[in-house]
Structure 1
Amino acid sequence: MLSTIWFIFLYQPLFNALIWIYSNIADFNLGWAVIWLTIFLRILLLPLTFITERNSIRQEKAEEEALAESKAFEHDSVARSEIIRKVMKKHKISPWAKVLTLLIQLLVLVLLYQVFIRGISGDKIVKILYNGIDFPGKINTIFYGFEVGKVHDAIWAGITALYLFFSIIIENRKSKIWQPSQVTFLLIFPLFTFFALWLLPMVKSLFILTSMIFSDIIHILRMIFFPAPKVEKK
């Protein structure tokens, strides 16, 4: 029952979308098809992305406000913590949109993994394609000399991990003094990402890298057009 629901409502639609993009947009290149699929997915998730960015603005404002108001209680840690707690509560920052966006992307990652595990040879494609989707023939899985279904691809896993590494540095650029937890996160998370992607088909690296770049573009546009308001110092 669950496997049937998974196949009919999740796996088959995504598979057909991928093949349609492959044939009509990506010029019969599966790597580019995955990139375009990721972009279209992120466009569909833009409402959630906008909510996440709005929460980011609130978070920045709340942090500045909390810092400004707590300076008067610099030597009273209890009162200072209470002030910060009240300010953060006042802004009502909810992470649900970001969590939902990540969960949907994780779901697509799992589905893409199944696509490559099950194989994309002719016989299997024909059985899954909708009537309106043309059979594309032999699938071109080479992306600029790299096999998108290959595991243990250190280059694309490394590119993705490095991008993540520098993204974390840029995100924390305002921190004058890095906390030990920040340094640990900076080192461990990209390394974990590298090894995880190294174990998986290269297509996962393309998906995650494209999604991160898309998120960063949206974030940059938000910072340009909708910067967080400055909190007046008291």
Structure 2
Amino acid sequence: MSNIFKIILYAPLFNALIFLSSFMPNRDLGLAIIALTVVIRLIFLPLSMKAQRSQKALNAIGPKIQAIKDKYKNDRTAQGAAMMQLYKDNNINPVAGCVPILIQLPILIALYQAFIAGLKPESLSMLYSFVPSPESLNTLFLGFLNIAGKNPLLAVLAGVLQYFQAKQSMSYMKASGAGASPQVAAINAQMLYFLPIMIIVLGWSLPAGLVLYWITTTVFSVGEQMYLKRNQ
């Protein structure tokens, strides 16, 4: 593990996890994971909501994007210039929707490392001086689910929730008049099934704690989309 990655991301997340567990009944690390996930999502909530609004606006101009592609299909330079002008006129950042995903990736990697190597007694040596060191690490979520091991049921639950979150997102875009582009509609239809299946397959082989993180962040996303729909 890179020392920079360990110092900047892995160690802070591990310490935050152990710190939060000290407030949980029986030092339940599963509950601490849920709490840590909520804290992370709240920190990045303004950025996430901005990205969702940007994605909605981007989908709304789908027909105009397609018209530019058709008009300048033989001139990539003119096509690119017209696209950038369209984004500028509509105050849209075309890459804003990718930012939350890019942020989550290193967090997922750090949490994966925490559950592969971190949940061992010797890992407590990484704790900061102000974080109380537990006598042992309680990896039994709610007293019966071992989050350090694999859990197929949690993997399936994560996939099902991801499906409903994607379905909700598509419904939200459709209700707002976005997503009219055939290309966007085709991609969304494929992702509606592909992403949940991929999550189930990956979750089947990953520590349950990481899957619990994904379940929590998906539920948070559902709530975030409901809020945006009510306040659009």
Task: Establish whether TM, by shorter chain, passes 0.5.
Answer: yes
CA–CA distance in structure 2, aligned partners of residues 10 and 180 of structure 1? 36
Q: Do residues 30 (structure 1) and 33 (structure 2) align? A: no
Which residue does the alignment assign to 1:220? 226
Q: How much does 1:112 deviate?
A: 1.1
Task: Note the 1:199-214 alignment, pairs <5 A.
Answer: 199-214=205-220
Q: Which amino acid aligns with 1:143?
A: F
Q: Do residues 188 (structure 1) and 194 (structure 2) align? A: yes
Q: How much does 1:147 deviate?
A: 0.8
Q: 2:162 aligns with which of 158, 161, 164?
A: 164
Q: Evaluate the alpha carbon distance shift between residue 12 and residue 219 of structure 1 in structure 2; reply closer, same or farther with a 3 A threshold.
A: same
Q: How much does 1:210 deviate?
A: 1.1
| Percentage of matched positions with identical amino acids | 27
Q: Evaluate the alpha carbon distance shift between residue 211 and residue 26 of structure 1 in structure 2; reply closer, same or farther with a 3 A threshold.
A: farther
CA–CA distance in structure 2, aligned partners of residues 26 and 108 of structure 1? 25
CA–CA distance in structure 2, aligned partners of residues 25 and 190 of structure 1? 30
Normalising by structure 2, we get a TM-score of 0.78
Q: Do residues 45 (structure 1) and 51 (structure 2) align? A: no
CA–CA distance in structure 1, aligned partners of residues 95 and 187 of structure 2? 24
Where does the alignment leave 5 or more consecutive residues of structure 1 unmatched?
Answer: 71-76, 228-234
Which residue does the alignment assign to 2:138? 140
CA–CA distance in structure 2, aligned partners of residues 140 and 170 of structure 1? 35
Task: Note the 1:1-234 alignment, pairs <5 A.
Answer: 3-25=2-24, 28-59=27-58, 61-63=60-62, 66=64, 78=70, 90-125=89-124, 127-144=125-142, 145-151=144-150, 153-173=151-171, 174=174, 181-225=187-231, 227=232
CA–CA distance in structure 2, aligned partners of residues 182 and 129 of structure 1? 43
Q: Which amino acid aligns with 2:112?
A: Y
> Which structure is larger by alpha-carbon Rg, 1 or 2?
1
Which residue does the alignment assign to 1:73? none
3-state SS, counterpart of residue 61 of structure 2? helix
Q: Evaluate the alpha carbon distance shift between residue 5 and residue 179 of structure 1 in structure 2; reply closer, same or farther with a 3 A threshold.
A: closer
CA–CA distance in structure 2, aligned partners of residues 182 and 62 of structure 1? 16
Where does the alignment leave 5 or more consecutive residues of structure 2 unmatched?
Answer: 74-78
Q: Evaluate the alpha carbon distance shift between residue 165 and residue 108 of structure 1 in structure 2; reply closer, same or farther with a 3 A threshold.
A: same
Q: How much does 1:25 deviate?
A: 4.5
CA–CA distance in structure 2, aligned partners of residues 182 and 40 of structure 1? 29
Q: How much does 1:63 deviate?
A: 4.7
CA–CA distance in structure 1, aligned partners of residues 57 and 118 of structure 2? 45
CA–CA distance in structure 1, aligned partners of residues 147 and 94 of structure 2? 33
Give the paired residue count. 213
**RMSD of the alignment, in Å?**
3.1
- Check the 8 A contact 1:31/1:206 in 2, yes or no: yes
Normalising by structure 1, we get a TM-score of 0.77
Q: Which amino acid aligns with 2:140?
A: I
Q: How much does 1:179 deviate?
A: 6.0
